[in-house]
Structure 1
């Protein structure tokens, strides 16, 4: 899958002598979640300093430049970004460091706030000045509002104003606060190092990178505080009042295969989706080949269930990032050709089952199919490990517009004809949900079903959001 824009990744660790270096390694392991910008903020207990830059982690924090040494402090948070909200601009890189009446604060946010523009318009009307165009800065202005500062729990009060997806880290000089929206759209988990230092990350693969142990997830609607006293927790929404809406596309595409999110192994989930796909859409063929990397586990499952041999018909160049980074279709097509090379000996003269995690616009998928034809594939049978994408996402996945989604305005046969494949099969939504351990209604499936967990539209209707806010939360100032 190479046609959608990624969201972000966050990492934090408290009171560790090598906090900044471990944050660097944690971000490296989360690089698949964002390649546009990277940043680290650190604290010595009294003062926060921050460095951000454009590009991947290794480019922003080049060892020869000594940036990590300049940031060295015992507590740190880090962020990787791809712009689902806000332009590609150095000012939008995170963590976002600011200062208000209560002192310094750095914020690292994964997700998308659907009421950010409404809040921003309101604050600008009262003379507030914004430095960036990302929705994270809105949170800082909310925290700085005098009537919010005076609340018994200002952070909890502010989080009640936010609508949409947020797995968010706050670095104060003396602590880290980690919070997750009431639906738990995006993953956020807690870990502990061998030395007993607490850390928090978007995915468990970041803990593996620093040899830390996964403890548990940050619960939807929960705020976890990590400070000198240890770890403590409170909820800004009464537990059990909101049915979770975990983004199951995290399992399909975003998350690394070695991670556990929402209680499940990503690799095992994808393998099972491949098995279900083989049950729902069997075919007589010679080999099963994945579109690497996010389609690999599903292809393993498909091959296992069908009994068709698994082979690598594509080889991926690891020197090319995720191709959603390309801003135009022409550049995306070129990036795919650079990224995926066909192994002619594996596919020539054979009936090939191609397993991919998803098909979005279909244009780059069509290019991959054409490459297989040119390499001599006799038949090509496309199998997709998620249902057809028909609706945009407002919670951190920057899908194309509804009109650009290939499945939105075409029948299955029309999609098959567009892709130039001999057969086409998508896993059913029920089949996909059966691969997860939680009940089906605990996941957000809006991109396939159009059933959103909260009121949304392209105008972000203010009245509908305010009504939703009144239903969920009390004491909103």
Structure 2
């Protein structure tokens, strides 16, 4: 099978999107399905919805997109109740299999418990190992199931206290929605690394990964769930709990660069406006004499508009994307593969021929995509091809819910700027600086002050401990030592 989505294959992948509703007048599951449609960009491997009708939990999970799995009346009718939650998944931990599709559900001593998770637990493997040794039996390979076992084995009496106790033991990033017979719980990790917002639709309370999901269902945005906050919705009552104390937040800065939809609002900022500002800052830092500014569709568009406006170079759609091609079942010979690539994206040859073009993309990961794009421009007759990237070089892996290749496969981790430029065969290459990225957010970045966001993929400054990663390093070092001894 040949993917015809080459410009997406070399992107960082956000793990998941979550959506929950309590107090829906009609079918809560139908609202959840609509919300998941709006969050489809956050996870395209699988989707699931769990509802509660006051007596029983009902779940439907499936591989693939929301459309096709949750647009049938019979599926929604099988998910009754005025409380429901859903999840779209792109795996960063655990295999791609139905058993890992969320929401995950378990019958605990305190009753039914369903959970959906956006993020990644950086000590899940160590916790899992300890839980298995003490008798826990895991049904999935997802790190999210670790939370269920921690809740089940907690010595606290109430389910809420058990849940809080479980969260005190985990590290890393999580925005969670949990559902119990008593109500709906939404919470965010103490650093707020992954996003979560709250809205209202009539008497219903809604939680979602992004504000765009609220827009789609006609809900009004209320506020963001604060870092370290748990919100418990029980019928018509709602209360906020902050069991972890307070500390400076570190939300993921890449939400502005790529993950969030441009029509979302994050921390009172328009994602679209921030991306335009990043493009303008990139033009200030790395100008070039050129005839056209061309975005790499679709994520490069806002930054390209900002770059064009700041540099006074015309913005044009030099790469045309077909939105009606997903995958094609073709034997992957080199010639046929190249033709398959053009089914999805094609150069606007009449526009490009003889022109000096500036390509704007959001990031470079392995570099394979950038190489293909530059080659496409050359074949279309471009006189010069300059690449500008609306984020700093990605030099470090992410362990907080983003599918990042191991560091050895990150182009910027193994090459300097000149080497990267030669690798992608561009006439020039430049990235926005880390200072420029923060400036686009309206903030000042200083190396001697704790940053306001998690920017570890650029700087290596991880805001939490990385227990599983440290354990893996220790194992590797032990194996290397044993090999030397032998």
Scaled by the length of structure 1, the TM-score of the pair is: 0.91
**Distance apart, 1:62 and its partner CA:** 4.2
String of CA shifts for 1:23-42, please: whole Å, max 9, x gaps.
Answer: 10100000000000000000
Segment drifting more, 336-345 vs 420-429: 336-345
Pair 1:227 & 2:267 matched: no
Rounded Cα–Cα distance in structure 2 between residues aligned with 1:169 and 1:15:
15
- Which residue of the partner structure matches residue 83 of structure 2? 75
- Which residue of the partner structure matches residue 474 of structure 1? none
Rounded Cα–Cα distance in structure 2 between residues aligned with 1:372 and 1:46:
60
Contact 1:11 1:78 (8 Å CA) reproduced: yes
Pair 1:145 & 2:174 matched: no
Deviant stretches of 4+, over 6 Å: 330-335
- Which residue of the partner structure matches residue 272 of structure 1? 277
Rounded Cα–Cα distance in structure 1 between residues aligned with 2:27 and 2:146:
31
Pair 1:38 & 2:43 matched: no
Q: 1:173 aligns with which of 181, 199, 204?
A: 181
Contact 1:23 1:40 (8 Å CA) reproduced: yes
Rounded Cα–Cα distance in structure 2 between residues aligned with 1:423 and 1:108:
44
Pair 1:303 & 2:308 matched: yes
Unaligned runs of 5+ in 2: 1-6, 446-450, 475-486
Q: Over the residues paired in the alignment, what is the CA RMSD in angstroms? A: 2.3
Contact 2:53 2:83 (8 Å CA) reproduced: yes
- Which residue of the partner structure matches residue 15 of structure 2? 7
String of CA shifts for 1:62-81, please: whole Å, max 9, x gaps.
Answer: 416x2111112211100000
Pair 1:24 & 2:5 matched: no
Rounded Cα–Cα distance in structure 1 between residues aligned with 2:206 and 2:237:
11
Structure-to-structure mapping, 1:241-390, within 5 angstroms:
242-320=247-325, 337-390=342-395
Structure-to-structure mapping, 1:183-198, within 5 angstroms:
183-193=191-201, 195-198=202-205
Rounded Cα–Cα distance in structure 1 between residues aligned with 2:160 and 2:304:
52
**Shift in alpha-carbon separation, 1:457–1:307, aligned structure 2, 3 A:** farther
Structure-to-structure mapping, 1:51-70, within 5 angstroms:
51-63=60-72, 66-70=74-78
Q: 1:456 aligns with which of 458, 466, 470?
A: 466
String of CA shifts for 1:244-290, please: whole Å, max 9, x gaps.
Answer: 11111111011001001132111001000000000000011111010
Rounded Cα–Cα distance in structure 1 between residues aligned with 2:65 and 2:160:
40
Rounded Cα–Cα distance in structure 2 between residues aligned with 1:417 and 1:463:
32
**Distance apart, 1:213 and its partner CA:** 0.6
Rounded Cα–Cα distance in structure 2 between residues aligned with 1:309 and 1:445:
32
**Shift in alpha-carbon separation, 1:192–1:437, aligned structure 2, 3 A:** farther
- Which residue of the partner structure matches residue 468 of structure 1? none
**Shift in alpha-carbon separation, 1:152–1:313, aligned structure 2, 3 A:** closer
Rounded Cα–Cα distance in structure 2 between residues aligned with 1:152 and 1:224:
11
**Shift in alpha-carbon separation, 1:334–1:118, aligned structure 2, 3 A:** farther
Contact 1:46 1:174 (8 Å CA) reproduced: no
Rounded Cα–Cα distance in structure 2 between residues aligned with 1:332 and 1:90:
30
Unaligned runs of 5+ in 1: 465-477
Structure-to-structure mapping, 1:403-422, within 5 angstroms:
403-422=408-427
Contact 1:259 1:266 (8 Å CA) reproduced: yes
- Which residue of the partner structure matches residue 206 of structure 1? 213
- The number of residues matched between the two structures is 456
SS of equivalent residue, structure 1 residue 442: coil
Rounded Cα–Cα distance in structure 1 between residues aligned with 2:473 and 2:347:
52
Scaled by the length of structure 2, the TM-score of the pair is: 0.89
